[in-house]
Amino acid sequence: MAIHHGRGFACINYPIGMNLGGDPSQALVHSTPDGKFKVTLSSIDLGQGIKSVGRQLAAETLGVPVEDVFVDTADSDTGPHDMGSFASRGTHRMGNAIIRAATEARAQLLEAAAEELEVDAPDLVTDGRGNIHVKGAPSRSVTVEATATAAQFNQGRTLAGRGIFLVPLSEVDSDTGEMTPVSSFAHAALIIDLTVDDETGEVEVQHINSAYEVGRALNPRLVEQQLIGGAWMGVSHALYETTEPYYPDRSHGPIDFNHYLQPGPGDAVPHHISVLERPAPDAPFGGKGPGEMCANPVLPAIANAVFNAVGVECDSLPITPEKVLRGIRANGGARPQGRPGA
């Protein structure tokens, strides 16, 4: 019998941040006597990189080198409140709080520099490399380090900032379901190419092509980490994993990683990503969080590709070889649908 190729498509959007709002994030920023900055949060880094993104957002807003900025987080004695790391809210909510805190700290930094250079603060700019100078007169400059030292020991001025970002809690209407679900949405469209063995029902993803719109890739490599890892998890959800293989019967639930199936290193799929950036007006530098949504389009795209390959409607997850084989048998054989979009 035969191996059939299939191609499937899906596209989605995703709400960024806790759905009904009411999920505040706070940030504190302060300078050391020699112009290094600490960003103090309560966010949790699960691997998504909130420490790294937070550091970049603070450095950009302050106008200082990123090497001079460090995030310290998740000590309830020192960090201000944050709702938590979930719902793709870290970048959006905490990012906005960091920008506000860093903006307040920057204002005082420029005021301190203005006093040193005897000019007005609005005339000053930062060059991002540790210097503050008069707009249009780079030679009239002072280093961030000298400014911080002067502020600390001569001016008696603190270079610090606070920031909070809160999307007000939205009610939900009991009769119409009216609500304000968040303020910005990420988007994705994805095409799966796969093969189906019509003798065993085995599905093997061959290629993923995707386009993810993430507002702004605040750190391209961290975004790629999410999109590659997320798409892998999407393949895993679509074809492999479940805590109840015979749901809703509870028997045979896996209790170890050997029996909780996930694609292995040998199943790693070539995934070509296009990143689109339409900045969300209320997001930090326009950046939306790509973390949660990147797996979502993969599941239906795989199901649609399996139908394209052999004509079996896969409407229950995971799409195991057994379900595909039973579908092929019920149709009296494979029913390839022909290449879409040809």
Subset of residues 259 to 318 that bind another protein, contact rule: CB under 8 A: 259-268, 270-282, 285-287, 291-293, 295-297, 299-301, 303-304, 307, 313, 315-318
* Stretch of 18-26, 30-38, 134-142, 145-153 lying at the interface with another protein (CB under 8 A): 18-26
* Stretch of 30-38, 131-139, 146-154, 219-227 lying at the interface with another protein (CB under 8 A): 219-227
Q: Rule CB under 8 A: is residue 179 a binding residue for another protein? A: yes
Q: How far apart are CA 69 and CA 67, in angstroms?
A: 6
Nearer CB in complex with another protein: 41/117: 41
Q: What is the DSSP letter of 291?
A: T
Tell me the two tokens of residue 37: 């900055």
State which of positions 26-65 bind another protein (CB under 8 A).
42-49, 51-52, 55-57, 59-61, 63, 65
Q: Which of 115, 116, 123, 224 binds another protein (CB under 8 A)?
A: 224
* CA nearest neighbour of 59 among 37, 83, 42: 37
Nearer CB in complex with another protein: 220/333: 220
Can you give 179-223 as a three-state secondary structure string?
Answer: CCCCCCEEEEEEEEEEEEECCCCCEEEEEEEEEEECCCCCCHHHH
Q: Rule CB under 8 A: is residue 141 a binding residue for another protein? A: no
Phi first, then psi: give them for residue 320, nearest 5 degrees.
Answer: -85, 160
3-class secondary structure, 171: coil
Strands 37-41 and 69-73, by their bridges, are parallel
Look at the alpha carbons of 39, 45, 48, 49 in this order and tell me if their dihedral is positive or negative.
positive
Nearer CB in complex with another protein: 34/75: 75
Q: Rule CB under 8 A: is residue 6 a binding residue for another protein? A: no
Binding mask of the shown chain, residues 84 to 113, with x at each position contacting another protein by CB under 8 A? xxxx--------x--xxx-xx--xx-----
